Structure formats: structure tokens, C-alpha cells
């Protein structure tokens, strides 16, 4: 018993010592680059130190002050990025829809398809341009933009308000969803972001609110009478769809334990009837259709709406949801989980939630509250979070100073490692808890990615890892490896990793070889990028 | 062993009698020699499949009044009709490929099964079903992982539990040493001639340096990769004339069959398939759900045919997080509901029967006046399966805090 106590006490002392120990300046810079960005490019740590870590963070929190012209110029070559929903629909969806219609008509007339399979495939292939451009801009920006925190937050908020690329015509709507709904709002107020998603065609379609309409008995009487005269069959159709009403509370705001009931879900669905898309197949925007709105009285979360209301009911509920303490806690928890630790300490979450409420949901201040916290800089969280597949792949590209000439092959690799961009089917998006990414198949795919990338065999990425080794180290194998490790990881390699790499060098060295065989360098770089240390941030 | 013979005998006789299944399957069944381990294959239909349109209660008039545009017609009412199962329930016509197995008593359904937790959140309901602890969010591992680790095996294969999935699903997370993969033929380091040495370099890096999840994952990965490399299961072509349809589930099941046939020590396999969240435009006998169900049924039928007599050692079971509303919604779809169905096929399954207790569909019989009520806890189905198929001795560890009493089992397995 006594011995146990001694052991326990010394363990306590040890862990206290670990969490008391301060990060060095270099570690602080690397930590910031990892958690607030997609890892360091060679020389980044020195650059951040020169600017000052705090100043660098301040700039990252105001991305508009960071020049980004080179990246913007590159994105000019992706033609669909600036297109409106209407133009995208017109150019890419209409031909498909019309071809289908022609074929259907022909079949009804007992004739052969007008458009053959090959032609249909061509049309579908043309349409792949849209998603191809979209994944490309995300990868290029994450890998090359100096607005690193901005890209981290785009990833975070898109995922929070996830829309799945594979649902119906959503693939034609994601371009404007990310560009006009997510990106412009991530440094503003949460309510504005929430409202923008609520009115976005992509979300209205994804979570079916566009199709949720009042029961005929609860519609405005004039409108119903008018519709009955025009088309009685259609006028009698319709009813609630609860999908969005549930997810806006469970996932976007209050959280699953946020204190709402099934009755609240149904009532909120009634409140949100009439929130729909003007003409989805022509890329129309948001419209409130009074004729489809439930005009009966409703009560959501204790808030009573008398009969006869309209769109203001939904706006009021969105305001209430955005300002709820449950929402503040939910958002704070998710941000802390993403930026600090899989199981964030409640002291941190509470403090961030408080800042969220006090600042009227100011997202810049809320994120700043996470970064300014002692927990963010606590040594026990340094290099302690496993990277998500996206973080891993991009940080590897950055580490070897890779130039992305075509981002689509990287997008395909992300699929193999388990995180296809825009490919999360459920509204929950991908997990911010990094542990879920650590599994057998994905790990091997990460290692294979690392080896291919470092060997310059990854299509679409150009790199030269040998060039990362300074001239004064290049002649000596061990100095070369050390310099390479320094360039790729900031030098934080474990003894086991070092030993393994040293052993590989010995194995490969031919006795009569002088100077040494530096064709091994890409393989060594692959081992470093695949190492356990590089899996973490 | 007896169970398996029963399965095989039934398969042979009934099939010949019914003339429903190609004779090659019968020959395989009559040969009756298998040497494999007992295997449990679990399929998760993520997104909440509409069980009332899968195992259709055509004997209930309330079913038809609740679903004016998406109901599946009664058997005998044309080629779009439900396929009669037992005079009360009918099978969705798109699933016709599974009907022969039901008729020959090697496949069964359980209806009105589900979780006692009332959540209608996909995420929570899947989480609860996979953790096996409805209502308890703090459970860290999955119940199938606990079932596997409850069976102490010296020399357990690194491939005893496999998820055909890019990430480890909740249900197999934990101490079972499960591996997740999407392509069994590409599971390993691929770096040309030096692959072997590079793999051992990674192995020693991870072995010495890492504790925790990453280290464990790495060890399991490398061991599994070595076994797969030697066994080379992907060379095995589908047998008995089985043709897998396109799609992710069929691809998973094909690979599970290859693992089973190559005797690499598989005990539990898991795969999932999405696309069931039919809030709008669900369709009835035809349409969105029908297309998904056809693919689903054809994949399972191909798997069964492919395995032939080996199916005597295998039980495949399906689940989904909850059912859908009894009444169709305003978009000719259905919203999140409560109870659902499960399907089981394989050796020892007491087939030809829709098990469970049917709660009825009249308003006062519905759960919260909208959903099919749960009359069988999903843990009682899985409790029976892991006990009889995997030989788990005690369910205390598999379903902590649950009174897993065999008296509540539905008799799905002999």
C-alpha cells in the first residue's frame, strides 16, 4: 500500500512537471503552424519566430491583411469557381436534364434513346468539372495560402454545416455554398452564418427543408383556395419534413443534449415551412413562400407564435438558437476539440462559451479565446493530437515544399485515407476527434501516400526532397538525415525513429560507395513523413 | 455442427422442391463439407431504412391508409406486389433474390426490433446501437469488439475481426484488435521491390516509439498485412455462378467472402451501406428505396451463393439505427421513427419466419402516435447471435448494465 502511494505520488509529480513545462519558442511557433494551419513549410518556423508568434497569430485572425495574390491568381485557372448557381445549372445541369427528358419522351413513344450512353457519360463527365474545381481550390488554398487559419476555419465551419456532395443536385450548389455562405461569414457573428446556411439552396436541398410545406389545412386560406382552383391534386399534397428542423438544433446549434424534444422538432419544422428554393433546377436562390407556410399557432422551446405569422417566425427562432447558452457550449466544445484536444478540458470550454455569449457570437473573438487560453499552449497538448487525413496529406505536401500542379490526385488519396472532401454523407460531417482516424487500413494508406509523395511519384505534386538538405550537410549520410528530419518535422524525432532510419542507411550502404548513395534520400523522407511523430500535431 | 447440417439439409431439399435456386448451389449444399470457423457478418444500413416497406405488414389496413402513395401493394395484385412471406407480412418485390432463402428456411426476419432509447438522431441512435449501451454515451468501445474479446483465444488471428470500411466503425472499436480496410488486396506497404524492408522499418518505428491508439493500430496493421500477403485472398473468384452487383456493399461482401474462403481466421466481419434516409421521394414498389433494396438484396444473395456450403458456418445479420414514421410525410417520404426490422441468413438460422412480436399499426398501438413500437430489444437478437454463433459465454461484458436474459431471445438461431 505504502509503495503504491509512493508510486502514485511520483506519477502525480511527473504529470504536474510535464504540464508545467513551458514550450520553447520554436515549439510555440511549430504548434501555432500545426494547429492554426496545415503544418510548416521548410523555413516557416523561422519566419514565424521573426514576425513574432503573437503577431503572426494576430495576422491569422485577420486574414484580410495577409496578401494572397499568388494563390488567387492560380485559382483563376479553375473556371467554375466564380460561376453563379444559375450559370452552373445552365451550363452543366440543364444539358443532363434535357437529355434525360428527351430519352424519357422517346421511350414513352416506344422509340430508342435519343442520347446514347456515351453521350450521357460525356455530359456527366463535363459536370465533374465543378466538384473537381471545388476540391482543387480547397487543397491549393490549404497547401499554399498564407491565410492558414482562414482555411482551417473554412474546413471547420463547412464541416459543422456539412452538405454532402452526393445528394442529388447539391453538387451543383456547393461552389456558391462555400464561396458565398461559408467563407464570407466565418469571422463574423454566428447568427449571420447560421442564417446564411438556413437560406442557402445547398442546405435547403440537403436537409429537405425546401420540400417541407404546411399541411393543407394550415396554409393561408386564400392561397389554398387559389391553388385548389388551379390544381386540386397538387394543392392537397404536401406536409412537414422534419429533417432540417432536427439537425439545426442537434448539430448546428444546441447540440444533442441541448434540451429540445420531439415536439420542438415538429413545431420548428412548422415554423420553417415556406423556406425554400425559388427554382432549384435553374439555380434560383432562397425564397419564402407564404402560400406554403404553416399559419397555425405554434410553440417552440417555450416560445409561442400566434396564428397568422410568416417568415419572421423562423428568423426569430434562428436568433434564439444562435444565442442559446447550449449553442455557446456546443460551439465552444467543437472548436476546442478541433484546435486543442480530443477531450477538451471543461474549464476551457466554459471560458470559450462565455466569450461566445458575451461577444454576441463573434466568431473571431471566440476562436481567439481558444488560442489565448493557457490550455492551448499547455505542453501536454503539444504534438498530442493525431492529424485528420486532410491535415496529414496537406502537412506532408507542405513539409517537403511540394508544388501542387494538379490537386485532383491528392483528392483521390484523401478518399483512400478516409476523408474525401465534401464527401461526408451524414449531416454530422467528419469527426473533429482525431482518434477516430487512427485505424489500420487508413494508417497503411497514409504510409503509402508518404512514400509516394517523398519519392516524387505522387501525380500532381512536384517536389525535390534532396534539395531540402543544405550543402554543408549533403556529403555526410548522418548529417543529411538529421538535416532532413529538421526540415520536415522541426527536429522532433524520437530515438526509435532515428535508430530505424540509421539502420536503413547502413543496410543500403554499399561498402565501396563514396560519396554515399544519396538516392536513398526520398525513401528516408518517406519514412520520416510516415513516422509516428509526423502523424501528430 | 448439427446446426450447420440442418442448414445444409434444408437448403438442398427445399430448394429442389421449390425449384428456386440454381442446382449448383444444391450440389454445394449436399456436399456438406466445411472446415471453417464460425463467422458472424454484420451489416449496418446507415440512415434508417424504412423497415415497413421492406417487411411489409400487408395484413394491416392501417399500413395502406398511412401510406397513400408509397405503400407496397398486397401480394397477388400484380408484378409490383409484395412477395408473400407468411400470410401477413410480404417482402419488398425488389428483394426477390432473397425470397428463395426465406422459403427454404435459411433466412429469417425479426420485426419491430430496435433500441429502447427514444432518440431520433441518426448519430446518437447509430452510436447507441454500435456501443450496445442505449442512452449511455460514455461507453468507449463497441459491442461486437467486446464480444470478440470476450472469447479468449490463444493465437487469435490478426484478422479475426475485420471492418470493410475506411475508418474503424464504432461497433468494432476497442480491444478486439479489429482491422479496418476497404481493399483487402492493397493492404500493405506498396513501394516496389523494397516494400518488405520499408514495412519492417515502419514496424520498428511504431513498435518502439508509440503507445496508445497509434501504436496498437500499427501493430495490427502490419501483422494483418503480412497474413493477407501470404494468403492472397483476392485471387479467389466468386463461386457457384455468383455474380455480385455493383456498389459498395457488394464490393465489401465479395471481399468478406474471400477472407472466409482463404481461412485467415476471420470471426467477425462488418460492413455498412448508406442511402436509406428517404425523407422525400421514397417510392413504393419502385423508386429510390426499391433501387437501394434491390442492390442490397442482390449483394447478400450473391454472397450466400458464392460461399455455397461454407455458408453453413456463417450467419449474416443486418441492422439499422431506427425505423421510419408509419405515415408518409408531405414529400412522399418518411421521417425518423422508432422500431425496424433485422434480417438473418446462414447456418443455424431458424428461417422461413418473421420472428418477434408485432405491435400493430393502429393509432393507439403506435409509439408516440407516429412510429412502430419496439417489442424486441436489438441486444436480445445480438445476444443470441454472439452466444450461439461466436460462443460468447457471458453477455455481461458484451452488454453491460443490461439484463441479457436468454428468455427474451426470439429464437432466431437454432
Mutate to test the interface with B, among A437, A439, A517 (most CBs of B within 10 A): A439
pLDDT of the residue at A221: 85
pLDDT of the residue at A438: 74
Kindly list the residues from chain B whose CB atom is less than 8 angstroms away from the CB atom of residue A536.
214
C-alpha span between A225 and A291 (Å, rounded): 10
Kindly list the residues from chain A whose CB atom is less than 8 angstroms away from the CB atom of residue B279.
208, 211, 241, 243
Which grid coordinates are listed for A305?
407564435
CA distance readout (Å), A222 to A46, A89, A182, B272: 70, 33, 38, 48
Chain A residue with minimum CA distance to B194? A523
For cell 524525432, name the residue. A493
DSSP string, A194-254: HHHHHT-HHHHHHTSGGG----GGGS-HHHHHHHHHH-HHHHT------HHHHHIIIIISS
Three-class SS state of A415: helix
Q: What is the pTM of this model?
A: 0.82
Which grid coordinates are listed for B296?
442490397
C-alpha span between A286 and A313 (Å, rounded): 16
pLDDT of the residue at A90: 95
Which grid coordinates are listed for B346?
446462414
- Give A495 to chain B, closest Cα distance, Å: 8
Chain A residue with minimum CA distance to B197? A504
CB contact under 8 A, A447 and B202: yes
Chain B residue with minimum CA distance to A502? B201
C-alpha span between B209 and B226 (Å, rounded): 21
Cα B262 to chain center, whole Å? Answer: 21
Total count of residues recorded for chain A: 537
ipTM associated with this complex = 0.86
Residue B24 has pLDDT above 50, yes or no: no
- Give B329 to chain A, closest Cα distance, Å: 6
Question: B335-366 burial by CB neighbour count: b if 16+ within 10 A, else e?
Answer: bbbbbbbbbbbbbbbbbbbbbbebbbbeeeeb
CB contact under 8 A, A526 and B336: no
CB contact under 8 A, A444 and B188: yes
Kindly list the residues from chain B whose CB atom is less than 8 angstroms away from the CB atom of residue A527.
198, 201-202, 205
- Give A242 to chain B, closest Cα distance, Å: 7
Strands A403-404 vs A461-462: parallel, antiparallel or unpaired: antiparallel
Give A52-105 pLDDT, tens digit per residue: 999 999 999 999 999 999 999 999 999 999 999 999 999 999 999 999 888 878
Kindly list the residues from chain A whose CB atom is less than 8 angstroms away from the CB atom of residue B117.
none
Three-class SS state of B202: helix
Share of chain B above pLDDT 90, in %: 71
Total count of residues recorded for chain B: 414
Nearest residue to B176 via CA among B203, B204, B153: B153
CB B114 within 8 A of CB B339: yes
pLDDT of the residue at A184: 98
Residue B354 has pLDDT above 90, yes or no: yes
Q: How many CA atoms lie within 13 A of B175 on its CB side?
A: 8
CB A478 within 8 A of CB A516: no
Q: Which residues pair with B45 in a beta bridge?
A: B273, B320
Pick from A243, A496, A523: CB nearest B204: A496
The pLDDT-based confidence of B209 (bands split at 50, 70, 90) is: low
pLDDT of the residue at A241: 87
C-alpha span between B190 and B59 (Å, rounded): 57
Question: B3-20 burial by CB neighbour count: b if 16+ within 10 A, else e?
Answer: bbebbbebbbebbeeeee
Q: What is the arithmetic mean of pLDDT over B34-40?
A: 74
pLDDT of the residue at B21: 46
C-alpha span between B344 and B353 (Å, rounded): 10
CB contact under 8 A, B198 and A526: yes
Q: What is the 3-state secondary structure (H, E, C) of A423-470?
A: CCCCCCCCCCCHHHHCCHHHHHHHHHHHHHHHCCCCCCEECCHHHHCC
Phi/psi for A337 (5° steps) reads -65, -40
CB contact under 8 A, B120 and A501: no
For cell 436468454, name the residue. B406
Cβ contacts below 8 Å, chain A against chain B, sum to 164
CB contact under 8 A, A240 and B209: no
Can you give the pLDDT of all 537 residues of chain A as single tens digits? 444 444 444 444 343 334 457 999 999 999 999 999 999 999 999 999 999 999 999 999 999 999 999 999 999 999 999 999 999 999 999 999 999 888 878 877 877 777 888 888 899 889 999 999 999 999 999 999 999 999 999 999 999 999 999 888 999 999 999 999 999 999 999 999 999 999 999 999 999 899 899 988 888 888 888 888 887 777 776 678 898 999 999 999 999 999 999 999 999 999 999 999 998 888 899 999 999 999 999 999 999 999 999 999 999 999 999 999 999 999 999 999 999 999 999 999 999 999 999 999 999 999 999 999 999 999 999 999 999 999 999 999 999 999 999 999 999 999 888 889 999 877 888 888 876 777 766 889 999 999 999 999 999 999 999 999 998 888 888 888 889 998 998 877 888 898 898 888 776 665 565 566 778 899 999 999 999 999 999
- Give A493 to chain B, closest Cα distance, Å: 10
Share of chain B above pLDDT 70, in %: 90
Residue B84 has pLDDT above 60, yes or no: yes
DSSP string, A27-83: HHHHHHHHHSSS-PPTTHHHHHHHH-HHHHHHHHHSGGGS--HHHHHHHTT-TTTT-
Kindly list the residues from chain A whose CB atom is less than 8 angstroms away from the CB atom of residue B225.
444
C-alpha span between A385 and A344 (Å, rounded): 11
pLDDT of the residue at A328: 98
Residue B168 has pLDDT above 90, yes or no: no
Give A290-327 pLDDT, tens digit per residue: 999 999 999 999 999 999 999 999 999 999 999 999 99
Three-class SS state of B58: coil
Nearest residue to B307 via CA among B265, B273, B353, B262: B262
Task: Give the Cβ contact number of residue B175 at 10 Å.
Answer: 12
Kindly list the residues from chain B whose CB atom is less than 8 angstroms away from the CB atom of residue A425.
46-47, 274-275
SS3 helix, strand, coil % of chain B, rounded to 5? Answer: 40, 15, 45
Q: Which residues pair with A362 in a beta bridge?
A: A189
DSSP code, position B166: S
Three-class SS state of B402: coil
Which grid coordinates are listed for A331?
460551439
C-alpha span between A113 and A106 (Å, rounded): 6
> Is the Cα torsion angle B101, B107, B109, B115 positive or negative in sign?
negative
pLDDT of the residue at A488: 92
Task: Return the axis-axis angle of helices A440-454 and A389-399, rounded to nearest 10°.
Answer: 20
DSSP code, position A340: T
CB contact under 8 A, B224 and A208: no
Chain A residue with minimum CA distance to B46? A426
- Give B2 to chain A, closest Cα distance, Å: 36
DSSP code, position B373: P
pLDDT of the residue at A514: 59
Residue B207 has pLDDT above 90, yes or no: no
CB contact under 8 A, B201 and A215: no
Q: What is the arithmetic mean of pLDDT over B234-254?
A: 96
Three-class SS state of B366: coil
> Is the Cα torsion angle B96, B97, B100, B106 positive or negative in sign?
negative
Give B124-164 pLDDT, tens digit per residue: 899 899 999 998 877 888 999 999 999 877 778 889 999 99
> Is the Cα torsion angle A170, A172, A178, A181 positive or negative in sign?
negative
C-alpha span between B268 and B386 (Å, rounded): 10
- Give B336 to chain A, closest Cα distance, Å: 8
For cell 554499399, name the residue. A510
CB A158 within 8 A of CB A175: no
Chain A residue with minimum CA distance to B333? A241
Q: Is it true that the peptide bond before A515 is cis, omega within 30 degrees of 0?
A: yes
Amino acid at each position: 500500500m505504502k509503495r503504491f502511494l509512493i508510486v502514485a505520488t511520483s506519477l502525480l509529480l511527473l504529470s504536474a512537471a510535464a504540464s508545467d513545462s513551458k514550450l520553447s519558442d520554436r515549439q510555440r511557433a511549430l504548434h501555432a503552424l500545426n494547429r492554426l494551419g496545415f503544418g510548416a513549410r521548410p523555413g516557416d518556423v523561422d519566419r514565424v519566430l521573426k514576425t513574432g508568434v503573437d503577431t503572426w497569430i494576430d495576422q491569422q485572425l485577420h486574414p484580410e491583411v495577409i496578401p494572397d495574390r499568388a494563390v488567387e491568381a492560380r485559382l483563376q485557372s479553375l473556371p467554375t469557381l466564380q460561376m453563379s448557381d444559375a450559370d452552373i445549372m445552365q451550363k452543366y445541369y440543364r444539358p443532363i436534364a434535357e437529355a434525360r427528358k428527351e430519352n424519357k419522351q422517346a421511350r414513352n413513344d416506344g422509340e430508342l434513346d435519343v442520347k446514347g450512353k456515351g453521350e450521357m457519360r460525356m455530359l456527366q463527365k463535363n459536370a465533374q468539372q465543378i466538384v473537381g474545381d471545388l476540391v482543387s481550390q480547397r487543397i491549393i488554398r490549404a497547401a499554399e495560402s498564407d491565410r492558414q487559419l482562414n482555411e482551417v476555419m473554412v474546413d471547420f465551419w463547412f464541416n459543422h454545416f456539412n452538405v454532402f456532395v452526393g445528394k442529388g443536385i447539391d453538387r451543383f450548389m456547393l461552389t456558391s455554398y462555400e464561396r458565398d455562405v461559408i467563407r464570407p461569414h466565418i469571422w463574423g457573428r454566428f447568427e449571420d452564418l447560421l442564417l446564411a446556411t438556413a437560406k442557402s439552396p445547398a442546405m435547403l436541398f440537403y436537409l429537405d427543408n425546401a420540400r417541407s410545406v404546411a399541411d393543407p389545412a394550415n396554409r393561408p386560406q386564400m392561397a389554398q383556395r387559389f391553388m385548389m382552383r388551379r390544381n386540386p391534386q397538387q394543392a392537397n399534397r404536401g406536409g412537414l419534413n422534419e429533417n432540417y428542423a432536427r439537425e439545426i438544433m442537434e448539430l448546428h446549434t444546441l447540440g444533442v443534449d441541448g434540451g429540445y424534444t420531439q415536439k420542438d422538432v415538429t413545431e420548428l419544422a412548422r415554423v420553417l415551412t415556406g423556406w425554400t428554393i425559388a427554382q432549384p433546377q435553374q439555380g434560383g436562390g432562397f425564397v419564402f413562400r407564404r402560400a406554403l407556410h404553416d399559419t397555425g399557432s405554434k410553440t417552440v422551446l417555450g416560445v409561442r407564435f400566434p396564428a397568422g405569422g410568416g417568415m419572421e417566425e423562423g428568423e426569430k427562432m434562428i436568433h434564439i438558437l444562435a444565442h442559446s447558452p447550449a449553442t455557446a457550449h456546443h460551439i465552444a466544445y467543437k472548436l476546442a476539440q478541433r484546435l486543442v484536444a480530443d477531450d477538451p478540458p471543461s474549464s476551457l470550454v466554459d471560458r470559450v462559451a462565455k466569450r461566445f455569449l458575451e461577444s454576441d457570437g463573434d466568431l473571431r473573438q471566440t476562436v481567439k479565446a481558444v488560442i489565448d487560453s493557457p490550455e492551448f499552449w499547455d505542453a501536454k497538448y503539444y504534438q498530442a493530437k493525431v492529424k485528420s487525413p486532410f491535415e496529414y496529406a496537406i502537412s506532408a505536401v507542405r513539409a517537403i515544399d511540394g508544388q501542387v500542379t494538379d490537386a485532383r490526385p491528392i483528392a483521390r488519396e484523401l478518399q483512400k485515407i478516409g476523408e474525401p472532401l465534401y464527401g461526408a454523407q451524414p449531416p454530422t460531417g467528419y469527426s473533429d476527434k482525431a482518434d477516430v482516424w487512427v485505424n489500420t487500413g487508413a494508417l497503411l494508406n497514409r504510409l503509402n501516400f508518404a512514400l509516394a509523395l517523398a519519392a516524387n511519384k505522387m501525380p500532381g505534386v512536384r517536389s525535390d526532397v534532396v534539395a531540402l538538405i543544405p550543402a554543408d550537410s549533403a556529403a555526410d549520410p548522418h548529417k543529411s538525415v538529421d538535416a532532413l528530419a529538421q526540415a520536415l518535422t522541426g527536429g522532433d524525432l524520437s530515438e526509435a525513429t532515428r535508430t530505424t532510419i540509421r539502420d536503413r542507411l547502413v543496410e543500403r550502404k554499399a561498402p565501396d560507395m563514396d560519396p554515399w548513395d544519396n538516392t536513398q534520400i526520398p525513401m528516408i523522407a518517406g519514412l520520416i513523413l510516415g513516422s509516428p511523430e509526423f502523424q501528430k500535431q | 455442427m448439427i446446426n450447420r447440417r440442418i442448414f445444409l439439409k434444408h437448403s438442398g431439399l427445399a430448394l429442389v422442391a421449390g425449384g428456386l435456386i440454381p442446382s449448383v448451389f444444391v450440389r454445394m449444399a449436399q456436399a456438406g463439407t466445411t472446415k471453417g470457423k464460425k463467422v458472424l457478418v454484420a451489416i449496418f444500413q446507415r440512415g434508417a431504412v424504412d423497415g415497413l416497406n421492406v417487411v411489409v405488414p400487408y395484413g394491416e389496413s392501417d399500413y395502406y391508409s398511412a401510406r397513400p402513395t408509397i405503400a407496397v401493394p398486397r401480394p397477388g395484385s400484380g408484378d409490383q406486389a409484395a412477395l408473400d412471406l407468411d400470410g401477413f407480412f410480404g417482402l419488398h418485390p425488389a428483394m426477390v433474390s432473397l425470397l428463395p432463402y426465406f422459403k427454404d428456411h435459411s433466412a429469417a426476419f425479426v420485426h419491430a426490433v430496435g433500441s429502447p432509447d427514444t432518440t431520433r438522431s441518426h448519430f446518437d441512435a447509430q452510436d447507441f446501437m454500435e456501443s450496445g449501451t442505449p442512452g449511455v454515451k460514455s461507453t468507449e468501445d463497441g459491442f461486437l469488439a467486446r464480444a470478440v474479446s470476450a472469447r479468449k483465444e490463444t493465437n487469435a488471428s490478426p484478422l479475426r475481426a475485420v471492418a470493410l470500411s475506411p475508418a474503424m466503425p464504432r461497433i468494432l472499436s476497442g480491444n478486439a484488435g479489429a482491422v479496418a480496410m476497404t481493399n483487402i488486396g492493397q493492404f500493405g506497404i506498396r513501394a516496389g521491390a523494397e516494400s518488405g524492408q520499408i514495412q519492417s522499418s515502419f514496424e520498428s518505428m511504431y513498435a518502439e516509439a508509440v503507445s496508445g491508439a497509434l501504436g496498437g493500430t500499427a501493430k495490427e496493421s502490419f501483422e494483418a498485412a503480412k497474413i493477407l500477403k501470404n494468403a492472397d485472398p483476392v485471387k479467389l473468384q466468386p463461386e457457384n455462378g455468383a455474380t455480385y452487383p455493383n456498389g459498395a456493399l457488394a464490393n465489401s461482401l465479395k471481399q468478406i467472402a474471400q477472407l472466409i474462403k482463404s481461412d485467415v481466421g476471420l470471426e467477425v466481419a462488418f460492413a455498412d451501406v448508406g442511402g436509406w434516409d428517404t425523407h422525400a421521394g421514397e417510392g413504393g414498389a419502385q423508386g429510390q428505396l426499391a433501387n437501394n433494396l434491390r442492390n442490397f438484396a442482390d449483394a447478400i444473395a450473391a454472397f450466400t451463393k458464392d460461399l455455397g456450403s461454407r455458408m453453413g458456418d456463417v450467419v449474416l445479420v443486418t441492422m439499422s439505427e431506427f425505423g421510419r414514421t408509419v405515415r408518409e410525410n408531405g414529400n412522399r417520404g418518411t421521417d425518423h421513427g422508432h422500431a425496424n426490422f433485422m434480417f438473418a441468413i446462414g447456418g443455424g438460422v431458424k428461417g422461413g419466419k418473421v420472428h418477434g412480436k408485432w405491435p400493430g399499426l393502429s393509432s393507439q398501438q403506435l409509439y408516440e402516435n407516429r412510429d412502430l413500437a419496439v417489442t424486441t430489444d436489438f441486444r436480445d437478437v445480438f445476444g443470441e447471435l454472439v452466444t450461439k454463433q461466436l460462443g460468447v459465454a457471458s453477455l455481461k461484458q458484451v452488454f453491460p448494465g443490461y439484463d441479457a436474459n436468454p428468455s427474451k431471445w426470439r429464437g432466431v438461431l437454432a
